[in-house]
């Protein structure tokens, strides 16, 4: 399992090893000891499995506010997504900046998104399945969002805006500048 840091502190790109043979493959997709040794501070309590049937589905940008903020370890087991994490920690030197990582059944990569980030992804193919572990339970009252197309974030989703498919909720998320501050950077 290879784990590398990214341009924004706290984010990790995890690439588990696939052991292939004539039957297929075996892969340890999560190891608590390896993840912790790389700085992943996580106690996962819930697994999510999501199917998006069409290319161009954007889910996000979402986060849960404290006391139910979630860290997320995200992977794509069918198709391909562009996974995006936006630093929303007030006072962070990278506040409002993002990392975008292509996660796919092919590259087998995972993105660790700690609390303090808004998270979202776009499907790059039809029939994408995303599985992710989270460090706190679903708390609808703490569910918040940022507009996927906030011009201040300048996210290149790689899919024409005319092809983007959104939930009704995500059609009316606020821009970051208009959203209540939920996280403060602790250096």
Ligand X SMILES: Cc1cn([C@H]2C[C@H](O)[C@@H](COP(=O)(O)OP(=O)(O)O[C@H]3O[C@H](C)C(=O)[C@H](O)[C@H]3O)O2)c(=O)[nH]c1=O
List interacting residues with ligand X (CB under 6 A): 48, 50, 59-60, 62, 72, 119-121, 138, 167
| Residue 62 is a catalytic residue | yes
| Residue 137 is a catalytic residue | no
Q: How far is the CB of 121 from ligand X (least distance, A)?
A: 6
- Rounded-to-integer distance, Cα 31 and Cα 126, Å: 30
Q: Which CB sits closer to ligand X, 24 or 140?
A: 140
Q: How far is the CB of 170 from ligand X (least distance, A)?
A: 7
| Lookup: tokens for 84 | 């995006």
CA distances from residue 140 to 62, 81, 88, 137, 149 in whole angstroms, order as listed = 11, 25, 19, 10, 23
Q: How far is the CB of 59 from ligand X (least distance, A)?
A: 4
Which of the following is catalytic: 119, 121, 132, 184? Answer: 132
CA distances from residue 41 to 35, 84, 118, 146 in whole angstroms, order as listed = 8, 20, 18, 25
- Catalytic site positions: 62, 132
């Amino acid at each position: 399992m290879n784990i590398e840091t990214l341009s924004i502190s706290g984010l990790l790109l995890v690439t588990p090893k696939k052991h292939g043979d004539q039957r297929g493959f075996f892969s340890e997709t999560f190891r608590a000891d390896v993840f912790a040794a790389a700085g992943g501070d996580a106690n996962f309590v819930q697994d999510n499995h999501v199917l998006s049937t069409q290319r161009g589905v954007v889910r996000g940008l979402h986060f849960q506010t404290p006391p139910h903020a979630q860290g997320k370890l995200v992977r794509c087991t069918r198709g391909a997504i562009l996974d995006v994490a936006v630093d929303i920690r007030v006072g962070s030197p990278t506040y409002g900046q993002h990392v975008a990582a292509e996660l796919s059944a092919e590259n087998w990569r995972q993105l660790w998104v700690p609390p303090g980030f808004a998270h979202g992804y776009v499907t790059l193919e039809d029939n994408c399945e995303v599985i992710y572990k989270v460090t706190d339970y679903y708390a609808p009252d703490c569910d918040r969002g940022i507009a996927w197309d906030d011009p201040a974030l300048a996210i290149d989703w790689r899919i024409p805006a005319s092809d983007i498919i959104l939930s009704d909720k995500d059609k009316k998320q606020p821009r970051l500048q208009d959203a209540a501050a939920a996280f403060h950077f602790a250096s």
